[in-house]
Amino acid sequence: MWFSLLLIGMLGLSLLLNLSFGFRGLRKAFATSHPRHLDDNLIEELVEDNDSTHKIAVIRIEGMIGSEAVEPGGLTFVEVVRDQLDRAAADTAVKAVILKVDSPGGEVLASDEIYQLLRDFQKKPGGKPVVASMGNLAASGGYYVSAPCRWIVANELTLTGSIGVIMHGLNYRSLMDKVGIRPQVFKSGRFKDMLSGMKTPEEESAEEKAMVQEMVMETYGKFRNVVEEGRGWAVSMNGSADDEKDRGRKLVRNWEDYADGRILSGKTAYEKGFVDELGNFGTAVSRAEDLAGIEDSNLIEYRLPFHFGGLLRLLGQSEARGVKVDLGFDFPRLTAGRLYFLAPSFFN
């Protein structure tokens, strides 16, 4: 009984909160050609009050960067970041943004879309600077989204780098043969079942592998361009500073030798020009204030409102849509056939 009363009370609270935030969002949705926006519903939360008239917005990039919905309204990781940047751009009191990164990377497309959002945000007329603050891990896609930032701060012990692309798959044909399962495939062309985990090694042609490798290397070339252009733009923006330490770091001449997928410590990344400054989150705040030309600021974050539907999903039970075989260990949860910017530590 008490549990039922608690659920009813939470439902009532959720309805009140969502009525106050939801009607504005609905009006905006009907008035715009792109209804998938949440920025009117985002709740501004004061994280650190320094009694200032200026604000710095903190946007978190945490965990896997992907295309799945991350909030009850169905918005994706990319769309939530977009709406936070839109909110920061519209608020004249917000003078800079700190991108707080703690991520092993993720999907290629999602990472690239966030990269473009950050690049365009800073290049708008009167664009506000974005400072990347790297936490424990900012590797592969985590570095990809940091590359367009005006300034990058990392701890000496941050794991970063891992500049590269991976496509992951599993061949389970031998397992199928052991349990007596044989696939039946009808296809319109000889490459229609590329990357299928049901094929025998003899059925995987060298031509097929070469095509996949070419696609991986093409995407890797885009990653290298993003690093080179992002770091070059940052140097051009900071290069006029009087103090040498305020000009940021240039990529070393042989930087591509370190863009082979290897993990770098924050210290090595700084020495090779992938990072501008060594320090912590406080260092990033001070740098953001310097770049914005302000002496102090309040730190804010944009939070998603509570939705009762999210609680129901936690209490509910999902329906299994496939056959599961317990082999005694876990495989990395990657979607076969997709390209990823991921650190190798993700696979351990």
Q: What is the pLDDT of residues 182-199, one digit of tens each?
A: 888 888 988 888 878 888
Structural domains for the chain: 33-167+230-308+332-347 (3.90.226.10)
Give the separation between CA 149 and CA 234, rounded to whole angstroms.
7
Report pLDDT digits (tens) over 89-104: 999 999 999 999 999 9
Looking at residue 107, what is its pLDDT? 93
Query: What number of CA atoms fall less than 13 Å from residue 226's CA on the CB side?
Result: 29
Residue of 103, 111, 133, 140 marked active site: 140
CA angle 323, 328, 332 (to 5 degrees): 70
**pLDDT at residue 27 above 50?**
no
Active site (annotated) includes residue 140 = yes
Gyration radius from the chain CA atoms: 23
Give yes or no for residue 64 having a pLDDT over 70. yes
Q: What is the pLDDT of residue 317?
A: 45
Residue 192, pLDDT score: 86
> Cα 238 to chain center, whole Å?
25
- % residues pLDDT > 70 (the chain): 76
- Looking at per-residue pLDDT, the higher value among 74 and 77 belongs to 77
Residue 196 falls in the annotated catalytic set = no
* Sequence-ordered list of residues with C-beta below 8 angstroms from that of 340, at least 6 positions apart, any chain: 105, 106, 107, 108, 140, 141, 165, 166, 167, 168, 334
pLDDT of residue 335: 65
Catalytic position from the list 192, 205, 209, 345: 192
pLDDT digits (tens, 9 = 90+) for 283-307: 999 999 999 999 999 999 998 876 5
| pLDDT, tens digit (0-9, with 9 covering 90-100), for 151-179 | 999 999 999 999 999 887 788 888 888 98
Q: What is the mean pLDDT of the chain?
A: 83
pLDDT band at 73; cut points 50, 70, 90: low
- The burial class, CB within 10 Å (0-12 / 13-18 / 19+), for 306 is middle
More confident position, 39 or 61: 61
The pLDDT, as a whole number, for residue 168 is: 77
Q: Is 97 helix (H, G, I), strand (E, B) or coil?
A: strand
pLDDT band of residue 33 (cuts 50, 70, 90) is very low
Is 22:265 a contact under the CB 8 Å cutoff?
A: no
Q: How far apart are CA 256 and CA 83, in angstroms?
A: 34
